[in-house]
């Protein structure tokens, strides 16, 4: 295993079987974490970038079987932030030290280009030193281009699984794997710093599928990669499936760091939901980003993608000092910075 890890670190390429060996093998993960952290420190030092996550709306036209805000969940209490709400949260976030805002939401019909473009322009003109990230699902290439031209810098859209048959087991027939990939390729070509990623331990997942996730990351070369454990939501078809494993999630984070040294990799909220030390453990496995919740407090419980989603404690943007302290305690510093992707120098 040691030599496989070395091969990955040196060549940033493995074949399917080698990936499966590293994903499913029995070995001491600390070896892997040490390598991942060394690579991360070479590129990003000991800085931790923060993003203020504003959850715009939990209305959603999609019906992902794993997700609590899917359109078929009639029990979800729906909400939608107004432009005024959103700008107020940016204002509060800026004062706290955020220099990136992430606007995430369900696929809400309200969020048409003619709504988003003026909003993006307002945020970019009011806080010109901030980066703006969108995570609003699948859209046409024209729409992505228009949002980019309006000033959005980054876009998060996880591929969820790189295996088309697996994708079809996680989504209804009207959602297509090919369309997801089309979106990711368009985002990359347009020039967004683009985030892909996947869940670990989603129903029916195998080590072979995770290997395919890594091969897809190698092919796409996204600037950001979000990796979190699947966590069941009680009002979804996957309510009875077990959550993904913390250990395997951390292993996938570390492997991703070795594959893509420059990637911006968050220690995700789902990781923090599984383990109170999840944020720290993510950073110690090679992650370099944390995305505290900057949504208005009264809607946080409604943006429930999975059960018990963390949104207080270290997850809350107001508790940034706690996050700073907990990162300092493991030798890292939260910085006030846009935290852009760093181009490889070689
Ligand atoms: N609608 C947008 C963004 C919101 S969902 C989109 O589809 O991109 C953001 C991410 O939450 C998804 O990409 C998915 O990977 C994750 N997610 C949703 N349900 C989850 C669950 N039950 N457990 C863990 N992660 C989940």
**DSSP letter for each residue of 96-162:** HT--EEEEEE---TT--HHHHHHHHHHHHHHSTTSEEEEE-----HHHHHHHHHHT--EEE---B-S
Those residues of the chain that have pLDDT short of 50 are: none
H or E stretch including 274? helix 269-274
Residue 318: its pLDDT value, please?
Answer: 79
Residue 29: its pLDDT value, please?
Answer: 97
CA–CA separation, 200 and 183 (whole Å): 22
Do the domain assignments include residue 177? yes
> What's the 207 CA to ligand 1 centre distance in angstroms?
20
> What's the 231 CA to ligand 1 centre distance in angstroms?
10
Do the domain assignments include residue 212? yes
Do the domain assignments include residue 286? yes
Do the domain assignments include residue 164? yes
- Edge-first strand listing for the sheet containing 289-290: 289-290, 47-50, 333-335
Number of the ligand 1 atom closest to the C-alpha atom of 270 = 24
What would the pLDDT profile of 110-157 be if each residue is shown by its tens digit? 999 999 999 999 999 999 999 999 999 999 999 999 999 999 999 999
Look at residue 11 and give its three-state secondary structure.
helix
CA–CA separation, 33 and 31 (whole Å): 6
Q: How many structural domains comprise the chain? A: 1
Number of the ligand 1 atom closest to the C-alpha atom of 243 = 23
Give strand pairing partners of 225.
196
Test site for ligand 1: of 76, 199, 239, most ligand atoms within 8 A of the Cβ = 199
Do the domain assignments include residue 344? no
H or E stretch including 54? strand 52-57
Taking CA atoms only, the protein residue closest to ligand 1 atom 18 is 67
Residue 305: its pLDDT value, please?
Answer: 95
Taking CA atoms only, the protein residue closest to ligand 1 atom 7 is 137
Test site for ligand 1: of 66, 102, 248, most ligand atoms within 8 A of the Cβ = 66
Taking CA atoms only, the protein residue closest to ligand 1 atom 6 is 137
**302 phi and psi angles, rounded to 5 deg:** -90, -20
Do the domain assignments include residue 180? yes
Residue 346: its pLDDT value, please?
Answer: 61
Q: What is the CATH number of the domain that holds 43?
A: 3.20.20.70
Structural domain that includes position 225:
2-8+19-335
Number of the ligand 1 atom closest to the C-alpha atom of 104 = 3
Sign of CA dihedral 282, 283, 286, 292: positive
> What's the 190 CA to ligand 1 centre distance in angstroms?
23
> What's the 228 CA to ligand 1 centre distance in angstroms?
9
> What's the 23 CA to ligand 1 centre distance in angstroms?
22
> What's the 305 CA to ligand 1 centre distance in angstroms?
6
> What's the 237 CA to ligand 1 centre distance in angstroms?
15
Copy the structure tokens of residue 209. Answer: 């599928």
Test site for ligand 1: of 192, 291, 305, 310, most ligand atoms within 8 A of the Cβ = 305
- Nearest Cα neighbor of 155 from 59, 264, 82 is 264
CA distances from 59 to 2, 6, 118, 215 (A): 47, 45, 21, 33
Residue 311: its pLDDT value, please?
Answer: 77
Number of the ligand 1 atom closest to the C-alpha atom of 136 = 2
Question: Which residues sit with their C-beta closer than 6 Å to ligand 1?
Answer: 66-67, 104, 106-107, 135, 137, 157-158, 160, 199, 228, 230-231, 233, 270, 305-306
Do the domain assignments include residue 103? yes
Which residues make Cβ contacts (< 8 Å) with residue 284, sequence separation at least 6? 33, 37, 330
Do the domain assignments include residue 340? no
Copy the structure tokens of residue 144. Answer: 């992505």
Look at residue 193 and give its three-state secondary structure.
strand
Report strand pairing: 333-335 vs 47-50. parallel
């Amino acid at each position: 295993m040691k030599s496989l890890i070395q091969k990955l670190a040196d060549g940033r390429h493995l074949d399917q079987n080698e990936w499966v060996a590293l994903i499913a093998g029995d070995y001491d993960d600390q070896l892997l974490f040490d390598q991942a952290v060394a690579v991360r420190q070479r590129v990003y030092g000991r800085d931790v970038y923060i993003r203020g996550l504003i959850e715009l709306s939990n209305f959603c036209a999609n019906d992902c079987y794993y997700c609590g805000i899917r359109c078929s969940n009639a029990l979800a209490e729906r909400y939608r932030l107004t432009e005024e709400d959103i700008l107020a949260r940016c204002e509060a976030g800026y004062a706290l030290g955020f220099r990136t805002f992430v606007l995430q939401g369900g696929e809400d019909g309200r969020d048409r280009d003619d709504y988003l473009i003026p909003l993006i322009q307002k945020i970019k003109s009011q806080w010109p030193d901030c980066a703006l990230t969108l995570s609003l699902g699948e859209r046409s290439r024209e729409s992505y281009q228009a949002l980019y031209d309006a000033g959005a810098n980054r876009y998060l859209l996880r591929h969820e699984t790189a295996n088309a048959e697996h994708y079809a087991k996680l989504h209804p027939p009207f959602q297509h794997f090919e369309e997801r990939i089309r979106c990711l390729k368009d985002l990359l070509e347009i020039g967004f710093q683009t985030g892909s990623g996947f869940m670990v331990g989603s129903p029916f997942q195998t080590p072979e599928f995770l290997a395919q996730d890594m091969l897809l990351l190698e092919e796409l070369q996204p600037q950001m990669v979000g990796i979190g454990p699947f966590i069941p939501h009680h009002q979804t078809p996957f309510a009875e499936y077990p959550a993904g494993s913390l250990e395997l999630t951390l292993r996938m984070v570390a492997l991703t760091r070795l594959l893509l040294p420059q990637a911006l990799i968050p220690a995700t909220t789902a990781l923090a939901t599984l383990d109170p030390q999840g944020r720290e453990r993510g950073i110690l496995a090679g992650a370099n980003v944390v995305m505290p919740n900057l949504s208005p407090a009264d809607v946080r419980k409604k943006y429930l993608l999975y059960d018990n989603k963390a949104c207080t404690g270290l997850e809350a943007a107001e508790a940034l000092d706690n996050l700073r302290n907990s990162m300092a305690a493991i030798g890292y510093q939260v910085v006030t910075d846009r935290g852009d992707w760093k181009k490889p120098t070689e």
